[in-house]
Amino acid sequence: MSTVLILNLAWQISTLALVALGLAIVFGQLRIMNMAHGEFVMLGAYAPFITSSLGLSPWLQVPVCLITVGSIALLMERSIIRHLYGRMFDSLLATWGIAILMREGVELFFGRGYQSVSPPVSGTVSILGTDYPAYRIVVICIILLGFTALYWWSKTSKIANKIKAMVGNPDLAQAVGINTARLSSGAFVFGCCCAGIAGLLLAPTIRIEPMMGLDYLIRSFFALVVGGLGSLEGLAIGTGVIAGTQTVLGAIASQTYGYLSVLTLSILFLWLKPNGVRSSSR
Amino acid sequence: MASVLLPVSLLLGALLLIPELFGDFVAYQIGLYLIYGIAAQGLGFIWGKTGVLPLGQALFFGVAAYLAASTLKADLPLVLTLAISGLVLCAIGGFAFLLATLIFRGRSESGPYFSLITLALAMIAEQIAGTATSITGGFNGMSGFASLGHLDPFGSYYYVIVGMSVGVSLLLFILNKLPVHLLARAVLDNEPRLQLLGFPTHVIKGAAFAFSALLAALAGGLFASHQGIVTPTSTGFALSAELLILTAVGGRFHVLGPLLGAVIIGWLSAELRDSFPYWELLMAFVFITVVLKAPGGIAEVCEKVLARFMPSASASRQASAIAAPSRTVQAPAKLKFHDVELKIGVVRILNGVSFETPASGVVSIIGPNGAGKTSVLNTITGNLRLTSGRITFGEDVISSRPVYKALNRGIARKLQVPSVFASFSVSENLTIASLAGRVTLADLFRFSTVRWRSSAISKVLNHPKVPLNRLLNEPVAHLSQGHRQFLEYAMTVAAEPALLLLDEPCAGLSPDETALMTELIKQYQETAQRLVIVIEHDMSIVEAISDKVLVLHLGQVLAFDDYSSIRTNPEVQAVYAGGTK
């Protein structure tokens, strides 16, 4: 395996892991099947255009991304999602509508065509004899650091248990002093912001268009199918398998084959191992 | 039959008038909306009845359109073209059936997973259609073929579409009168109960999905001839999303709802899309509103308005028919637990349970809360898989098998919290139960099967004290807890199983009702020397009905004996008196 392939693998896995983390919180913990998750990736990717059209410094891209994605997610949670806890199928339908709304809205603002942005870190670095874009290396490192911090934090924090309690029995959770309204919107907004940040990080490396989100939704969903819900280890395995299969097969055959094999894999998992490789809940 | 023929002939009349009144071009446009309407009707069938929502119906639409286009390109004789179309439809239906049964086999609540997989399939199809230029013509599409039978798409082809559309509506109306329709709706209402009644629900869902795929494929085939060109957009995400909106807004619970939605939205969209830039946004808003506030869509609104002008005839009670003989095992057999262990996660629920019941009689299971009583029943029906050990009934090993197989092996079960089909009427509940263990595939497509009444149910209903006979047309949602207990009991004995499992059948019953329930249980057991296992807390009931009593404590058998010996057993007394055992 060439070095480039390995680096590509690391790039694909790390970015997918960030998107899937958001979905793991919203779908795995809050039990909301958010069909608009990919649209938050898309919104995040448009953040550079918002800053440039407002004439702001590129350094403000991150806060602008968080504010746009966060406020839309909060609005969505307070107005619609809040009524859908415990009704997963209805949440799927409602967020499907919201996803269409977000795509059409972005299309009205920015137009239908492809857009691209240049990376904030240009040039390449030489690793083991191959040149690789420096920006990607930086992003991989940032995501790796972020996940390490999250892993450490999740070992000490009680928030995961609180969320589990809230989803399992909202009334009882309230009775023992958990502010369920704040906790659920916090978790939902955090999940969506993961997707938004992932979109912002991906923006310089992809073509940006209103329909781009679906692909991320599906791949991160499949990562959860393979890895199982409820643990960071499962998330890592799932994204590794999905992004790995797609990257390797995409490199030796074609993107279509990569996609097909990912889908076949997911169907096999649903059939033979419906709870995924790792599952702490159930 | 009037309720079927009237709307269908009205539809046919209206559609035939369109070319006369508005000219051929409008008819051409309406033809396209009708084609989408057929696909949407398929989606409405599976979504409205079984609650399963495929998000990628354009996959079948597009694949069929491409295949139709390539067949038409070959310019074969009409008969051959139609034969090929038939084969294609069968293949697509078969594929859809396999896919859905495979996904739903693993577990019953895979709804969202199924939706996402169908969505992904449609997206892949679009990608392949766009990139495999040599086969599909890439983004330019596949064109250069004459329409079916060389009919004019702007003229006589419209009548082919009308014929198909009316035919499909007629078929759907007829399906609504058949028992398959009851089963499809029962999946949405209470899937675990349907499995306990011996129906493989994943197969029902698979069949419903295959049917919806078939209609989508039929629409796709019609589309190719109508448009004269097939592009990757016919098989992708956007069309799938569009079909979903048509179905939801039109009304998924009514046969004509999706068709109505397709024509209304299609027409409005053609009028407004160019002049009103926020059209797509508006549609998304309408969709969200419909999903959250008015799931019945336009069709439900129309129905309510119509009902105001035409008060519906009061539901007439049809005479019931005698159900086919039950095919479940009825020969008495011994139930035997061989060192059964059950662990869920780190929790040990059963720790080596072994016992053997007599082949007939009433066995009561007692024990403190958390002793594993209900889990014992769960392992017998297959709701829980064993960690180790095995369970035999007669000669057969019955442990760790799918739940739906239990009934055919002669095991029926009443759940702790009465589990019936809550959105159905009492008589519909009894009908579904009467099908259990008796119905064959062919019976499901006969009108008379809807009136089946199992003799075991009749026996319960005809008992002078059982309150259900007066309530047959009531929706189950209006029933009291006690009445539901009797309803579920009647449904459980419907197939006349050799082994009856009753989980707290007398919970929530008055003393009179309790006496009645125990009488029914005794009677059922004695008529054919069957085996009945009852979980019960009330010792007077246990004393009254039990031939043997099984005492469970901490997932183990503490004692298994007749009532008087259990009563004097010091260990049992210690457990119940809160001793230090």
Flag whether residue B475 sits within 8 Å of chain A, measured between CB atoms.
no
Contact A101 B110 (CB under 8 A): no
List alpha helices for B349-425, DSSP H. Answer: 373-381, 405-408
**A 114-173 near B (Cβ less than 8 A):** none
Alpha-carbon gap, residue A194 to A251, rounded angstroms: 27
Considering only alpha carbons, which residue of chain B is nearest residue A282? B345
pTM of the model: 0.89
Phi and psi based region of residue B389 (left: phi greater than 0; alpha: psi -120 to 50; beta: remaining):
left
The answer to whether the CB atoms of B284 and A101 lie below 8 A apart is yes
Rounded Cα gap, residues B494 and B439, in angstroms: 12
Residues of A in contact with B96 (CB under 8 A): none
Decide if A108 and B281 are in contact by the 8 Å CB cutoff: yes
Contacts of B134 in chain A (CB under 8 A): none
Check if the beta carbon of residue B17 is closer than 8 Å to that of residue B158: no
pLDDT of A252 reads: 84
Interface A:B, Cβ pairs < 8 A: 100
Residue B281, chain A, CB below 8 Å: the answer is yes
CA distances from B502 to B104, B373, B408, B463 (A): 28, 11, 17, 20
Residue B99 and residue A267: Cβ atoms within 8 Å?
yes
Domain range summary for chain A, segments of one domain joined by +: 3-210
Question: B335-344 and B347-356: which strand pairing?
Answer: antiparallel
Do the Cβ atoms of A258 and A265 come closer than 8 Å?
Answer: no
pLDDT, one tens digit for every residue, chain B (581 residues): 677 888 889 899 998 988 889 988 899 999 999 999 999 999 999 999 998 999 999 999 999 999 999 999 888 888 998 999 999 999 999 999 999 998 888 666 667 888 888 988 888 888 888 888 888 888 888 888 888 888 888 888 999 999 999 999 999 999 998 999 999 999 988 899 999 999 999 999 999 999 999 999 999 999 999 999 999 888 888 899 899 999 999 999 999 999 999 999 999 988 888 888 888 888 888 999 998 888 888 998 888 888 888 766 555 556 788 888 887 877 888 999 999 999 887 888 999 899 999 988 999 999 888 888 999 999 999 988 899 999 999 888 988 889 999 998 889 999 988 899 999 999 899 999 999 888 888 888 888 888 888 888 888 888 888 888 888 888 888 888 888 999 999 999 988 888 999 999 888 888 999 999 999 999 888 888 889 999 988 888 888 888 999 999 988 889 898 888 888 888 888 887 765 54
Q: How does pLDDT run along chain A (282 residues), one tens digit per residue?
A: 588 888 888 999 999 999 999 999 898 888 888 999 999 999 999 998 888 888 888 788 899 999 999 999 999 999 999 888 888 888 888 999 999 999 989 988 888 888 888 887 778 888 777 888 888 989 999 999 999 998 888 778 887 778 778 877 778 888 888 888 888 899 999 999 999 999 999 998 888 999 899 889 989 988 988 888 877 888 889 999 999 998 888 888 887 888 888 888 887 887 777 777 765 443
Assigned token pair, B475: 């929706």
Provide the shortest C-alpha distance from residue B218 to chain A (in Å).
25
Q: Do B112 and A98 touch (CB under 8 A)?
A: no
Interface check A253 vs B, CB under 8 A? no
The residue of chain B with its CA nearest to that of A105 is: B281
User: What distances in angstroms separate CA B169 from CA A184, B40, B41, B109, B291, one per listed residue?
Assistant: 44, 11, 8, 30, 24
- The candidate with the shortest Cα–Cα distance to B6, out of B310, B347, B234, is B310
Predicted pLDDT at A1 = 57
Contact criterion met (CB < 8 Å) for B102 and A266: no
Question: B143 pairs with which residues across the strands?
Answer: B229
CB contact under 8 A, A88 and B116: no
Give the ipTM of the model, two decimals please. 0.85
CB contact A5 to B (< 8 Å): no
Chain B interface includes A56 (CB < 8 A) = no
Tokens of B19: 């070319």
DSSP per-residue codes, A244-271? HHHHHHHHHS-HHHHHHHHHHHHHHHHH
What distance in Å separates the CA atoms of residue A142 and residue A10, rounded to the nearest whole number? 12
Give the pLDDT confidence score for residue B489 in this predicted structure: 92
Contacts of A267 in chain B (CB under 8 A): 99, 102-103, 117
Inspect the interface and report whether the beta carbons of A97 and B121 lie closer than 8 Å.
no
Contact A255 B127 (CB under 8 A): yes
Contact: B291, A88; criterion CB under 8 Å: no
Angular region, A135: left φ>0, alpha ψ -120 to 50, beta rest = alpha
Residue listed under structure tokens 């269908």 = B8
Q: Using the beta-carbon criterion (under 8 Å), do B288 and A94 form an inter-chain contact? A: yes
Q: Which of A214, A259, A271 sits opposite B237 (nearest CB)?
A: A214
Q: Does B115 touch chain A (CB under 8 A)?
A: yes
Instruction: With beta carbons less than 8 A apart as the criterion, state whether B259 and B246 touch.
Output: no
Assigned token pair, B273: 């899309």
Q: What is the pLDDT of residue B579?
A: 53
Largest CA distance in chain B: 92
CA distance A96 to B550: 52
Residue A282 has a pLDDT of: 38
